[in-house]
Structure 1
Amino acid sequence: MKMFGLKYLLWLVVLLGFTAQAGAQSITSESQSLTKKQQAIIPIAAFTASGDLDSLKGALHNGLDAGLTINETKEVMVHLYAYCGFPRSIRGLQTLMAVLDDRKAKGINDEWGAEASPIKDKRSKYDQGKEVLGELTGAPQDGPKTGYAAFSPEIEVFLKEHLFADIFERDVLSYSERELVTISVLSSIGGVEPMLRSHMRICLNVGLTPGQLQQFVNIIQASVGEKEAKAAQSVLDEVLRSVKSE
């Protein structure tokens, strides 16, 4: 058990607590509770982003046991490099390889799962990404560029063409699963509250509920820490107040 890491064990205790209370609290009712696979994605993304590889090993075992395929788990780490960089992503993938070797040695044969479907859209990647971002945000993307996009048009192009076209259009993970990865990373690295705010709103747009986002914060508290959870809770409260007033 030592190899799994203290944070992972604490998170597992909290997760078991969620399960035990599911019938008593609306926050974990069937319609409000994240699936086991969605719950497993959160610490995998958070530990990869923070570089806590000891705890990541335990989270990976749990995620594979919860039904994540190898390709889905790989995709979590491919997705998050856009938010925390290649070094963290590659170290996560290397840790996954070691975990899979360990499981195979124990006679556990994990399912590879589906590969990403070919993208047949013949439009430019920029136009594809613009459409995906519009779907995610529920807002048109044809207005004049402002803020960082006006200051650095290059990065706005990279975001549309690569993040929202190349990455988000890969159907190994759903939009809601990708957003769970994203807010897990942003909560883990900290100091990016405006981005976390935007992506929590996107979470609501792609079908996650306020109760599921509260459960997300609770898992962050157990797996990452009090400071990160407090910041995430503050952002979530702000987003929910804003949505309610609209």
Structure 2
Amino acid sequence: MQTKLSRTQQYLIPVAAITAQGNLSKLKPQLAAALDAGLTVNQLKETIVHLYAYCGFPRSIRGLQTLMAVLEERKAKGITDVQGREASPITDSRSKYDRGKEVLGKISGASQDGPKTGYAAFSPEIEIFLKEHLFADLFERDVLSYAERELVTISVLSSIGGVEPMLRSHLDICLNVGISPAQLREFTAIITSTIGEKEAKAAQEVVDQVLKSKEPAK
């Protein structure tokens, strides 16, 4: 099991957190640093597109516009950034709902065949939207791995605050898709330095709770 976040993951986390906060002046140098570190244009685009599912189109679009501006500035300086690979074509002929259901089951490790409960029972339409769009349309795009998408997700949730139950669920998913406890601790350190110790306190507490719950009983 990995004990350190990859170089790519280390840069995706602050990009996602800062974009979610809407701090565009802080985002510009972070995007430039990510490009200098070897991240591709498509990796950054995919990160910013993904986060709209958690903090909305306005933040995502402003993030994309900021990336466009950074790329233009770098081009004017003679810097050629690598575009990177595109998402693979989807060849699965099943419905998006069925594909999304499978993806969610795979990353969560939980059966998706039981009766609907909670918000899914109260609002069946949002359960359909989640399966068809978030876990099919977005998660099936392989420019980012499941682990990278989950790191982007918990970065956004930590940044916006007030969504601790959802953050807890996605931290569990992180562990299920191969992110180690040591990597989550590194994540919290990056979040603290990115969005501030005070703002990151709640996220830190949730991470500590989740990791403690995974420790063997004494």
Counterpart CA distance in 1 for 2:199 and 2:12 is 17
TM-score, normalization by structure 2 = 0.97
Give the match for residue 159 of structure 1: 130
Counterpart CA distance in 2 for 1:163 and 1:31 is 27
Counterpart CA distance in 2 for 1:100 and 1:132 is 33
- Residues 1:41 and 2:41 are matched in the alignment: no
Q: 1:149, 1:155 within 8 Å by CA — same for their partners in 2?
A: yes
Q: Deviations over 1:132-159 (max 9, x none)?
A: 0001101111011110000000000000
Q: 1:129, 1:165 within 8 Å by CA — same for their partners in 2?
A: yes
Which of 97, 121, 124 matches 1:150?
121
- Residues 1:114 and 2:85 are matched in the alignment: yes
Q: Which runs of 4+ in 1 moved over 3 A?
A: none
- Residues 1:194 and 2:165 are matched in the alignment: yes
Gaps of 5+ in 1: 1-29
Q: Deviations over 1:21-76 (max 9, x none)?
A: xxxxxxxxx94111121110011101110000011001101111111100110000
Give the match for residue 69 of structure 2: 98
Q: 2:2, 2:179 within 8 Å by CA — same for their partners in 1?
A: no
Counterpart CA distance in 2 for 1:214 and 1:132 is 26
Counterpart CA distance in 2 for 1:209 and 1:173 is 18
Give the match for residue 172 of structure 1: 143
Q: Which amino acid aligns with 2:190?
A: I
Give the Å deviation of 1:243: 2.0
Q: Secondary structure at the match of 1:180?
A: helix
Counterpart CA distance in 2 for 1:46 and 1:163 is 19
RMSD: 1.2
Counterpart CA distance in 2 for 1:66 and 1:148 is 41
Give the Å deviation of 1:245: 4.8
Give the match for residue 210 of structure 2: 239
Count, aligned residues = 217
Counterpart CA distance in 2 for 1:154 and 1:234 is 32
